[in-house]
Structure 1
Amino acid sequence: MGKIKSKIAASIKSKKLNVFFLFLLFSFVILIVSKLSKDYTNTVSFQIEKINVPQEHVILNDSVQLNITLKTHGFKWLNYYFKKPKVQVDFSKDVIKKNKTYIYNKSKAYLNNTQFDKQVELLSINPDTLFFRFDTNMVKKVPVTLNASINYAIGYNALNAIALQPDSVVVIGPHVLVSKIKNLPTEQLVLNDVRDNIDTKIALKLPKAHKDLTLSAKQISVTADVEKFTEGTLKIPINVINVPKGVTIKIFPKEVTVAYYVSLKNFQNVVATDFEVVCNYAKITENQSVLVPELVRVPNTVKSAKINNKQIEFIITK
């Protein structure tokens, strides 16, 4: 019997606590509503939203905000605090143009009628005039430069040069900014132990004043065919050129070894006649007793090639 009484007492006490907290919450809500229903005066920074700017002009951000003192109820202030307020400046009707500057000096009454509803009273604006310097657009096509660190797995390499798409970007903006841009580098691309084809995208490293510029692309595609490579060697005959009439020379050796680097699938297609090695007699200086061989023709399928013999001995016989 005693246990039942204690449970009933606990239940009544719990209900009393719930009612207490409910009334406390209700009182708090009433207090907040009462506070927010009152009018308050404060100064808020409004961002400038530029619309209908002539296409041939670029605005340089001299005036970026207005400090406006307003009087309105608390609910309206909540909206300003949670959402960055903006004032629209319509360049088709709100500004006047003077030399290289647009001037905005609308009155309080104009702003009050066009930008704010009847529940908001506009008290003051600072500054009362906005100045927007502008420049004429310049259009320039600049090359893209790849900033990359690519390390291939042992025995692998790119079949051809790495392709960038697009390899150039059209930049539109103020002459003072665009004229200084010579190229657009990418952000750094790092690839290690590469053994498969490269197909990725990388962002361009935008100029510091990129907000005043329009770019035809802000990222590019980077592609390359990657294959397994091998080395080969071939004996290539030497051709001596620019020998004067009446002069006969003998060279030793008469052929050189050319080492080349080629993809595995093209290895069997490379033959000696694909290469040409010459020694230019016209480059001989006084007292020179050797010729220097030059590799003047290499097949497109070969990634790189070099001559192992650096000097060729010769004898002049007239």
Structure 2
Amino acid sequence: MAIIKLSPTERRRLSAFVTCCVVAFAAWLLTVLQGSYNYKVKCILTYNNIPQRRAFRTLQSDTVVATLQGSGWQMLSARMHNEDEHIAIDLHTLDTKNFIALEAQLPQINSKRSAEQKITDFDPDTLYFDFTNRSTKRVPVKLLKNITFQPQFDVAGNVRLNPAYVFVSGPAATINKITEWSTDSLKVTDVEANVQAKVDIAKVRDGNVSIYPKIIQVFVPVEEFTEKTLEIPVQLSNNVHYYDVKIFPQKVKVTFMTPLSKFAEINDDYFDAVADFGLWAEHKYSSLPVKITRLPAYTKIVKIEPQNVDFIVKK
């Protein structure tokens, strides 16, 4: 392929031509972007002044398409970021109507926006609602938590919530399906002492449901744990034919972690160690695994020695 060689003068002319083209394009783009345009963006509706005496559900999506009037720069920014806007809609007229005309609220909506970026239209421009009887229900609070502890520390008692219940209010059909209400996640790290905190109730996703109160006080008892070992008698279960069975050994050593405050009081009466004789009767096991079926609250089994026991069936 032939290579075109340009003289120094021709190269200067070509450079000047390219520079002029770039400058002209930049000037044109700047002029275009400074103009005024109508463009569309998706908007997520949020609701204010929800009727207290009427429960409702929306008959359409909570997302509408809004036509905005703004500069080319604003239109370009909206296209690049592609983020949905949030628009607050006033529902106070639902006390007497079953629809909201968005156009009627344009002055109120635009008063909270930049004067250079006004909304001119919505699609759809009317929201319709279905009304039902409003119901109130008391439900337990479920704490979501993500707590990590320093070595040897852990939860040492019942987590206390104040209040332990919240009131949810809304359409009866919706409220009847609610059996509990979660909190936001309580996140604490490297814990070595009791945790006391305030946690927000999880946000309501349905605009016609309300909840009270919105903040819960949480107390998590935390203690240092230590290791303890006890000998626990092994009990035989599922001996349905009442065979005369001798177990070897008759006790197993159970090593567990327990809060320091409980260390002295915990003895073998707090544990049940069980071997299932049905495993021999049905499956001919030669030894029986030992399971701990009862243990004190907030203790954690470390190991069982031995994990299996031998036995003799006397005939």
Answer whether TM exceeds 0.5 for this pair.
yes
Structure-2 change in CA distance of 1:217 and 1:87 (3 Å)? closer
Q: Does the Cα contact within 8 Å between 2:224 and 2:259 map onto a contact in 1?
A: yes
How far is the alpha carbon of 1:223 from its aligned partner?
0.8
- In structure 2, the partner of 1:165 is 162
How far is the alpha carbon of 1:132 from its aligned partner?
6.0
Structure-2 change in CA distance of 1:89 and 1:279 (3 Å)? closer
Match of 2:278 among 241, 259, 282: 282
- In structure 1, the partner of 2:204 is 207
How far is the alpha carbon of 1:54 from its aligned partner?
6.7
Q: Deviations over 1:260-307 (max 9, x none)?
A: 11111221222233323222323432322112222233234x522353
How far is the alpha carbon of 1:176 from its aligned partner?
5.3
- In structure 1, the partner of 2:189 is 192
Q: Distance in 2 between matches of 1:88 and 1:282?
A: 68
- In structure 1, the partner of 2:249 is 253
- In structure 1, the partner of 2:307 is 310
Q: Distance in 1 between matches of 2:155 and 2:91?
A: 54
- In structure 2, the partner of 1:150 is 147
5+ residue gaps in structure 1? 1-47, 63-83, 105-128
**CA RMSD after TM alignment:** 3.9
How far is the alpha carbon of 1:88 from its aligned partner?
7.3
Structure-2 change in CA distance of 1:139 and 1:254 (3 Å)? same
Structure-2 change in CA distance of 1:261 and 1:241 (3 Å)? same
Structure-2 change in CA distance of 1:54 and 1:195 (3 Å)? closer
Matched, 1:139 2:136: yes
Q: Distance in 2 between matches of 1:254 and 1:130?
A: 74
How far is the alpha carbon of 1:174 from its aligned partner?
2.2
How far is the alpha carbon of 1:134 from its aligned partner?
2.7
Q: Deviations over 1:42-63 (max 9, x none)?
A: xxxxxx9869x572x235578x
What SS does structure 2 have at the residue aligned with 1:292?
Answer: strand
How far is the alpha carbon of 1:181 from its aligned partner?
4.1
How far is the alpha carbon of 1:225 from its aligned partner?
1.4
- Percent of aligned pairs with the same residue? 28
What SS does structure 1 have at the residue aligned with 2:284?
Answer: coil
Q: Does the Cα contact within 8 Å between 1:242 and 1:282 map onto a contact in 2?
A: yes
Q: Distance in 1 between matches of 2:246 and 2:145?
A: 49
For 1:236, give the aligned amino acid: I
For 1:215, give the aligned amino acid: I
Matched, 1:227 2:223: yes
Structure-2 change in CA distance of 1:247 and 1:179 (3 Å)? closer
How many residue pairs get aligned? The number is 220
How far is the alpha carbon of 1:243 from its aligned partner?
3.7
For 1:280, give the aligned amino acid: D
Matched, 1:264 2:260: yes
Q: Does the Cα contact within 8 Å between 1:50 and 1:90 map onto a contact in 2?
A: no
Q: Does the Cα contact within 8 Å between 1:61 and 1:132 map onto a contact in 2?
A: yes
* TM-score of the aligned structures, taking structure 1 as reference length: 0.57
How far is the alpha carbon of 1:150 from its aligned partner?
0.2
For 1:239, give the aligned amino acid: Q
For 1:199, give the aligned amino acid: Q
* TM-score of the aligned structures, taking structure 2 as reference length: 0.57
Q: Distance in 2 between matches of 1:157 and 1:278?
A: 27
Q: Does the Cα contact within 8 Å between 2:227 and 2:256 map onto a contact in 1?
A: yes
5+ residue gaps in structure 2? 1-46, 60-87, 102-125
For 2:292, give the aligned amino acid: L
